[in-house]
Amino acid sequence: MSLIDLKKKTRIVLDKRALPQPPRCRVGLCIDISGSMHNEYQDGLVQATVDRLLAIAGTFDDNGEMEVWTFNQKYSTPPVARASDFGNYVKKAILDNPDVAKWGGTNYAPVMNAVLDSYFRGENVVTGGGFLGFFKKTEQRPAKDTHIPALCLFLTDGDNSDETEAAAILREAKRYQIYWQLVGIGNDTDFRFIKKMADELPNAGFCQFANLRASDEAIYEALLTSELCDWLRKL
């Protein structure tokens, strides 16, 4: 299956939702890399999922890029995924990347905070250094393209241990043009927290898959919902 074929499948779903020409939208992926996700990474299921989501990114934004964050207790920022990474992103950019924290537990708030910083708030960057680091300083780097809405695809197989902090960030995000598609993977968890937040917030949805072996069609139907398309129409 090629990226072009997958993009055609996303178009079929968007046509069904009466949104054949969606507005430009940045697409980001937050994907769980806690210990319980180890087999999904090793078996190639995460790579297949990234390929499918690259098709969504290419449909919503002409540059075809998808920002990626991985998360366990903390978060990491692998390189942006592009069409040229189709079929080979995960091993190179995540599993073989020493800067990506892997396995461990699950927190949502740090990565959700990073998404808002990147897309809307701006980020604090440490510059300088010099002798013994005496000349280091922190500068605020403004976010770029804040006028362009964002779709964050948030995939996790487990509940978090920082519900209060994550809820505060999601509620703050109502002021920004961002939609969170919260995705639960597996049947061993009830995903109570993200279900509750999706019910509460106008810019969040929830879906659940038994595993990442679902068909392309099932994944696009679940992610590209009528609710998401209605939200996009109102932009």
Could you report the per-residue pLDDT of 68-88, keeping only the tens digit for each? 999 999 999 999 999 999 999
In order of their start, the domains of the chain are 3-233 (3.40.50.410)
* Residues in a beta bridge with 71: 32, 75
Give, as one character, the DSSP assignment of residue 78. P
Residues in the chain: 235
Phi, psi of 178 (to 5 degrees): -140, 140
Q: Is the pTM of this model over 0.85?
A: yes
* C-alpha distances in Å from residue 85, one per residue of 65, 79, 91, 151, 191: 10, 10, 10, 20, 31
DSSP alpha helices (H): ranges in 17-44? 38-42
Distance CA 76, CA 29 (A): 12
pLDDT digits (tens, 9 = 90+) for 131-141: 556 555 556 67
